[in-house]
Amino acid sequence: MQKGESVISVALGLVMLFTVLGIQRRWHPSNLTALTSWTQDLILNSTDRQGPVPDIKGYERVRAYSLGGYQAALYRVISSPLDFAPAQFVIYDRANQPVFKLDVLESAKTPWTALYNFRGQGGLSTPGSRSRPVYQRDLTGDGQSDIVIGQYSGGDHCCTTITAVALGQDSVRTLGRVEGLRGYPFEGLEFKKLDKDPDWKIIAHRKYTTACGPSEGDPDVPAVYAYSNGAFADRTPSQAEYLEGVLHEDLGRWAADKIRSLQLLETVALDYALLGRREESERFLSTNLTPFLPEMKVQGVDPKACVASLESLAEGVAGSVTRGAPGGAR
């Protein structure tokens, strides 16, 4: 009998035994459901195992992931005098041979690099949660699993790059990258199906720097990445219906907020610009800026510089819609 068959036999024997005991002792149905789920996990995980992931000389293994027929691990240089250290994220095939490697930078304490958990909150596992993380999803509609890796740049650059990777039956390949997400993985990242399209879209919410105040109040500008011709690419110009929905939602917040924020004002102005509605963008900004002038004065912000920076940014995002986004995920 093969090892996998032995594991399945033992697991099935255990579930039959506990089911009989559960009926005799009148266990609640939810307990029996949990038992069934545990057995499925045991069978699937045991038959997919190909032994522990290899060690890499000079590196410590920080995290390890089971990904069906593949395994992955995050390694960090063992000793570093800095608060961060060089690291590698490696994917292994069934024979434990490396088939994908990503050079990253890691905190010397808490790891930054992570896989997106599609069952988690904001892509991250909730502390104390008993739900099993889901790292794989068919993002392209080809019937195969894909994963999303988030890597933080560290230092003053402050930003995250995500890399979508396809785990094929016989090969692993990069589907695209999205750069410039402020903060740690996976802040500002969403996965959605738009316009009844069966394929998933990657929504990247980027913060853009303006001269209107502190960086924590920078406006939010969304970009939509769609799968096309074998890769995820920026398709924001073709997503007018989604962008209209974003504008409608932000205008609703503006109408409902008792204390309106300068950040929301900037965001709505850029929502209009992203749709190519520059006149409405400028009118919304000029009409609603006056109440924020005292706040800007306290912060030492020049209102003219603020308006000029927003108009320049609005021209840039409007131009990207008019010209079309550059090809390929950046």
54 domain-assigned: no
Q: How many CA atoms lie within 13 A of 129 on its CB side?
A: 12
Which residues touch 132 (CB under 8 Å, ≥6 apart)? 41, 119
Which residues touch 82 (CB under 8 Å, ≥6 apart)? 108
* 308 lies in the same domain as 209: yes
Which residues touch 281 (CB under 8 Å, ≥6 apart)? 269, 270, 271, 272, 273, 314, 318
pLDDT digits (tens, 9 = 90+) for 308-318: 999 999 998 87
281 domain-assigned: yes
> Is pLDDT above 50 for 220?
yes
* 124 lies in the same domain as 171: yes
* 216 lies in the same domain as 91: no
Where among 11, 28, 48 does a domain terminate?
48
* 12 lies in the same domain as 82: no
Question: Exposed/middle/buried for 282, CB within 10 Å: 0-12, 13-18, 19+?
Answer: middle
Residue 80 confidence class, pLDDT cut points 50, 70, 90:
confident
- Report the number of distinct structural domains present in the chain: 3
> Is pLDDT above 50 for 29?
no
* 202 lies in the same domain as 91: no
Name the more confident of 43 and 218: 218
CATH number, domain containing residue 154: 2.40.128
164 domain-assigned: yes
pLDDT digits (tens, 9 = 90+) for 201-215: 999 999 999 999 998
pLDDT at position 28 is 47
53 domain-assigned: no
* 86 lies in the same domain as 129: yes
| Structural domain harbouring 303 | 197-330
Residue 198 confidence class, pLDDT cut points 50, 70, 90:
confident
* 85 lies in the same domain as 117: yes
Q: Is the peptide bond before 186 cis (omega within 30 degrees of 0)?
A: yes
